[in-house]
């Protein structure tokens, strides 16, 4: 039954390895779960789960798998009062529990039910009846590893209850993220882009030999500067009204990118819904406070990686009509979609990040333009997972 | 059988049962314990507490962005040896004297089991943890220069902390026991404060904690105040003898809690309006 838990965890997206599983088994053997369900839960989590981002997923799986182990709440009152008294821990030698581990859950539950029916009096210690401090598979504060625990206080809080609370929901990776998480994601852009060591100085061998020779063999070390990261980023942000609900998120993205000092260069421009012949210098998108898009093309080389951020929802005309530019008084000869294609042609490594969650793309207003733009740029949702995928895309040659 | 070491917390460090279990699991299984959590939740203090509680020596290897895995094992001062050979100083034949053990090396040769803290492992290069896999697994390494193998006679208790600035490699994670220190809830926090300032005035503490958790709820802040900042703040409040009533209203010495000007502005703004800016 435990092996099936292993596969169950793996199927629910927690990447447990055989090694970790064996470690868990070794830990159980040593009695590190302290024969309590909570102990078992904590032990499983600390050995099998290596990121707080996975805690929630683990809690859910644990809950789903063990939910039938839940202690029956309709225990007769007397049972509870018997169980509340006389809690006296028993010490057990190592390895004692491994034999007991193999009992099947349904069987356990069945026994618990039966025993409940049979039992007519209070019972403490011993190894058969439901009672306190015993080694029976049934009871309260018991020391049976795979046993059923019938309630208890504080530290006897049910593991399922703990798991069921889903205390770590906020850490899930598919949640939208904060600045720090953005930064972590953007650091990955360095990992792949340059294999450079972060050493401050590197020994310049040629220089050292030359200098040493110049000084008649007296050793003289010469250091040179290490190589730098070569990633250059062009960030283009939609600051249209429809982006207002996401402004906080975009602001965080912007901050994390601008704080990341490992890029060789970072240029940020803004646009309204779609890109035409101008890119604005500020999010306010004021007339004349802009640069020509063509200027960007000619001044920023093709080695720039382009990240476009926008909801990609707009009127069809903004993409497919001359003069589709939604800003009053601005007329575009060239179609919006052509401008986008030009960007893609100029900058092979470009992605579109969309704050709208991916599952909603086919449904929201503007789903058509999302689809059209998605044909030009690989589009990802603006979450950690999306950004991760996007960054991988940026780094493909 | 070796005497079992069970960690049960120490007098100056409040430990949750979960964390205590994780520590004991790591000790029993002889695996490194990886501790993650918000800054200021006492990750580094844990190692000190373990060393103190179990009466063991503590070795601290603080990781910087330039730290190399090799430095933890040993460094071979070739430059010194070259210089020495040029000037005919020292016994150049004896390579051993140019080999300096790093913190990991020190932990391995230690006769008594030490606690080794590898602090802020995420500061180093992304490949850093991978370079230590074998050494942490086998607790040994080989020095080719002297043809020596340094092997731990007793496996040190290894505590590793991370602020999650970088993702740690999978292979490394699989070898660790993991624990995430949650930010303490008010009850736990009170316990922690009591450990540090046993004599703190109850009403002052209540007011300060209320203000503290109120500030922590402001989502617009970039850097949330942590336990250590609360402790500093309490100390400042106590030293200055601030009127308890003023604490919630004025947040005196706010600079102790919030380290960024922007955050302080945000805080005042939120206080004034009475609601967080986060919700549109």
The CATH number for A310's domain is: 3.40.50
Do A112 and A54 have their domain in common? yes
Do A163 and A190 have their domain in common? no
Q: Is any Cβ of chain A less than 8 angstroms from the Cβ of B81?
A: no
Which one of A47, A89, A193, A215 makes the best mutation probe of the B interface by having the most chain B beta carbons within 10 Å?
A47
Do A376 and A307 have their domain in common? yes
Q: How far apart are CA B154 and CA B137, in angstroms?
A: 13
User: In terms of CA atoms, which chain B residue is nearest residue A21?
Assistant: B174
Percent of chain A with pLDDT over 90: 9
Alpha-helical runs (H) found in chain B: 17-29, 43-54, 69-73, 78-87, 103-109, 133-138, 170-174, 186-196, 202-216, 227-240, 244-250, 254-257, 261-273
User: In terms of CA atoms, which chain A residue is nearest residue B176?
Assistant: A47
pLDDT surpassing 90 at residue A380? yes
User: In terms of CA atoms, which chain B residue is nearest residue A191?
Assistant: B126
Do A235 and A222 have their domain in common? no
Q: How far apart are CA A210 and CA B110, in angstroms?
A: 43
Question: Within 13 Å of residue B185, how many CA atoms lie on the same side as its CB?
Answer: 3
Average pLDDT over residues B61-70: 88
Task: Grade residue B185 by pLDDT with cuts at 50, 70 and 90.
Answer: confident
Do A158 and A223 have their domain in common? no
User: In terms of CA atoms, which chain A residue is nearest residue B20?
Assistant: A42
For residue B4, the model assigns a pLDDT of: 64
For residue A136, the model assigns a pLDDT of: 47
CB pairs under 8 A between A and B: 81
Tokens of B21: 């279990």
Instruction: Decide which of A35 and B72 is more confident.
Output: B72
pLDDT surpassing 60 at residue B27? yes
Do B177 and A46 make contact, defined as CB atoms within 8 angstroms? yes
Q: What pTM did the predictor assign?
A: 0.60
Closest Cβ–Cβ partner in A155, A187, A188 for B17: A155
Do A204 and A61 have their domain in common? no
Instruction: Decide which of A195 and A310 is more confident.
Output: A310
Interface pTM, i.e. ipTM: 0.77
Question: What separation in angstroms does the CA of B162 have from each of A171, A199, B166, B176, B262?
Answer: 16, 21, 9, 12, 26
Do B86 and A26 make contact, defined as CB atoms within 8 angstroms? no
Q: How far apart are CA A114 and CA A204, in angstroms?
A: 80
A65 and A183 Cβ atoms separated by less than 8 Å: no
Q: Is any Cβ of chain B less than 8 angstroms from the Cβ of A22?
A: no
Do A106 and A239 have their domain in common? no
Task: Grade residue A350 by pLDDT with cuts at 50, 70 and 90.
Answer: very high
Do A119 and A167 have their domain in common? yes
Percent of chain B with pLDDT over 90: 25
Query: Nearest C-alpha of chain B: how many angstroms from A143?
Result: 16
- Give me the number of domains chain A comprises: 3
Least confident of A182-186, A196-200, A264-268: A196-200
For residue B188, the model assigns a pLDDT of: 85
Buried b (16+ CB within 10 A) or exposed e, A57-80: bbbbbbbebbeebbbeeeeeeebe
Chain A positions touching B28 (Cβ under 8 A) are 27, 30, 32
Q: Tell me phi and psi for residue A353, to 5 degrees.
A: -105, 130
Instruction: Decide which of B22 and A396 is more confident.
Output: B22
CATH superfamily ID and name for B17-181: P-loop containing nucleotide triphosphate hydrolases (3.40.50.300)
Name the residue ranges covered by the structural domains of chain B. Answer: 17-181, 186-273
Task: Grade residue A88 by pLDDT with cuts at 50, 70 and 90.
Answer: very low
For residue A144, the model assigns a pLDDT of: 40
For residue A75, the model assigns a pLDDT of: 47
Which residues 6+ apart lie within 8 Å of B50 measured at CB? B7, B10, B23, B56, B115, B157, B159
Chain B positions touching A52 (Cβ under 8 A) are 36, 180
Task: Grade residue A110 by pLDDT with cuts at 50, 70 and 90.
Answer: low
Do B83 and A43 make contact, defined as CB atoms within 8 angstroms? no
Q: Tell me phi and psi for residue A223, to 5 degrees.
A: -110, 150
Average pLDDT over residues B196-206: 84
Q: Is any Cβ of chain B less than 8 angstroms from the Cβ of A18?
A: no
Range of the domain at A72: 2-171
pLDDT surpassing 60 at residue A54? yes
pLDDT surpassing 80 at residue A281? yes
For residue B245, the model assigns a pLDDT of: 79
Instruction: Decide which of B4 and B87 is more confident.
Output: B87
Do B179 and A46 make contact, defined as CB atoms within 8 angstroms? yes
Query: Nearest C-alpha of chain A: how many angstroms from B106?
Result: 24
A61 and A163 Cβ atoms separated by less than 8 Å: no
Which residues 6+ apart lie within 8 Å of B259 measured at CB? B223, B229
Chain B positions touching A187 (Cβ under 8 A) are 126, 165-166
pLDDT surpassing 60 at residue A258? yes
User: In terms of CA atoms, which chain B residue is nearest residue A252?
Assistant: B222
Average pLDDT over residues A209-229: 79
A339 and A377 Cβ atoms separated by less than 8 Å: no
Q: Tell me phi and psi for residue B221, to 5 degrees.
A: -70, 145
Task: Grade residue B257 by pLDDT with cuts at 50, 70 and 90.
Answer: confident
Helix orientation angle between A2-11 and A52-66, rounded to the nearest 10 degrees: 130
Do B82 and A218 make contact, defined as CB atoms within 8 angstroms? no
Do A223 and A234 have their domain in common? no
Do A112 and A47 have their domain in common? yes
Query: Nearest C-alpha of chain B: how many angstroms from A312?
Result: 21
Do A146 and A241 have their domain in common? no
For residue A101, the model assigns a pLDDT of: 45
Over the stretch A113-165, which tens digit does the pLDDT of each residue have?
Answer: 666 666 555 554 444 544 444 444 444 444 343 444 444 333 334 555 566 66
Q: Is any Cβ of chain B less than 8 angstroms from the Cβ of A33?
A: no
Do A43 and B176 make contact, defined as CB atoms within 8 angstroms? no
Owner of token pair 């102990």: A39
pLDDT surpassing 60 at residue A67? yes
Q: Is any Cβ of chain B less than 8 angstroms from the Cβ of A3?
A: no
Q: Is any Cβ of chain B less than 8 angstroms from the Cβ of A203?
A: no
User: In terms of CA atoms, which chain A residue is nearest residue B123?
Assistant: A198
Do A222 and A165 have their domain in common? no
pLDDT surpassing 90 at residue B57? yes
Do A46 and B82 make contact, defined as CB atoms within 8 angstroms? no
- Mean pLDDT score across all residues of chain A: 73
């Amino acid at each position: 039954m435990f092996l099936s838990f292993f596969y169950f965890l793996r199927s629910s997206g927690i990447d447990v390895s055989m090694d970790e599983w064996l470690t868990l088994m070794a830990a159980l053997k040593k009695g590190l779960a302290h024969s309590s369900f909570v102990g078992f839960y904590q032990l499983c989590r600390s050995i099998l789960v290596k990121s707080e981002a996975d805690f929630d997923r683990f809690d859910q799986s644990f809950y789903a798998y063990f939910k039938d182990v839940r202690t029956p709440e309709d225990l007769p009152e007397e049972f509870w009062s018997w169980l509340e008294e006389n809690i006296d821990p028993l010490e057990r030698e190592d390895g004692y529990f491994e034999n007991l581990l193999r009992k099947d859950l349904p069987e356990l539950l069945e026994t618990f039910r039966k025993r409940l029916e049979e039992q007519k009096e209070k019972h403490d210690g011993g190894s058969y009846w439901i009672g306190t401090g015993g080694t029976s598979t049934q009871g309260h504060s018991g020391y049976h590893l795979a046993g059923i625990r019938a309630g208890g206080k504080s530290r006897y809080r049910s593991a399922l209850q703990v798991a069921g609370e889903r205390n770590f929901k906020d850490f899930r990776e598919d949640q939208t993220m904060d600045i720090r998480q953005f930064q972590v994601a953007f650091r990955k852009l360095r990992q792949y882009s340059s294999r450079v060591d972060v050493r401050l100085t590197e020994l310049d061998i040629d220089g050292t030999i030359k200098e040493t020779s110049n000084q008649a063999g007296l050793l003289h070390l010469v250091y040179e500067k290490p190589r730098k990261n070569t990633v250059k980023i062009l960030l283009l942000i939609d600051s249209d009204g429809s982006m207002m609900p996401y402004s906080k998120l975009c602001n965080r993205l912007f901050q994390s990118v601008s704080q990341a000092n490992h890029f060789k260069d970072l240029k940020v421009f803004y646009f309204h819904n779609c890109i035409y012949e101008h890119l604005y210098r500020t999010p306010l998108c004021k007339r004349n406070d802009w640069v020509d898009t063509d200027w960007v093309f000619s001044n920023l080389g093709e080695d720039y990686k382009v990240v476009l951020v926008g909801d990609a929802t707009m009127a069809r005309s903004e993409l497919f009509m001359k003069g589709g530019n939604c800003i009053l008084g601005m007329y575009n000869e060239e179609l919006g979609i052509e401008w986008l294609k030009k960007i893609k042609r100029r900058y092979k490594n470009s992605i579109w990040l969309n704050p709208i969650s991916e599952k909603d793309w086919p449904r929201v207003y503007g789903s058509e333009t999302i689809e059209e733009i998605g044909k030009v740029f690989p589009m990802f949702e603006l979450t950690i997972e999306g950004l991760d995928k996007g960054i991988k895309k940026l780094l493909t040659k | 059988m070796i005497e079992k070491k069970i960690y049960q917390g120490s007098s100056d460090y409040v430990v949750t049962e979960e964390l205590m279990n994780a520590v004991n699991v790591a000790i029993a299984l002889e695996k490194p314990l990886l501790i993650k959590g918000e800054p200021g939740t006492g990750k580094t203090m844990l190692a000190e507490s373990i060393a103190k509680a179990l009466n063991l020596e503590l070795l601290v290897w603080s990781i910087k962005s330039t730290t190399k895995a090799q430095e933890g094992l040993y460094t071979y001062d070739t430059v010194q040896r070259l210089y020495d050979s040029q000037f005919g100083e020292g016994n150049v034949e004896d390579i051993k004297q140019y080999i300096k053990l790093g913190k990991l090396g020190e932990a391995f040769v230690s006769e008594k089991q030490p606690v080794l803290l590898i602090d802020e492992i995420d500061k180093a290069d992304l490949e850093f943890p991978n370079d230590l896999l074998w050494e942490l697994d086998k607790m040994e390494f080989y020095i080719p220069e002297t043809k020596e193998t340094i092997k731990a006679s007793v496996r040190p208790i290894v505590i590793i902390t991370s602020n999650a600035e970088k993702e740690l490699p999978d292979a490394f994670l699989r070898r660790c026991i993991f624990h995430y220190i949650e930010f303490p809830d008010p009850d736990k926090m009170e316990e922690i404060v009591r450990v540090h300032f046993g004599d703190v005035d109850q009403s002052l503490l209540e007011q300060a904690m209320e203000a503290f958790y109120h500030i922590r709820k402001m989502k617009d802040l970039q850097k949330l105040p942590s336990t250590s900042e609360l402790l500093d703040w309490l100390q400042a409040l106590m030293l200055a003898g601030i009127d308890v009533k003023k604490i919630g209203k004025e947040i005196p010495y706010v600079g102790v809690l919030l380290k960024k000007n922007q955050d302080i502005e945000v805080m005042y703004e939120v206080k004034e309006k009475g609601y967080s800016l986060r919700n549109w």
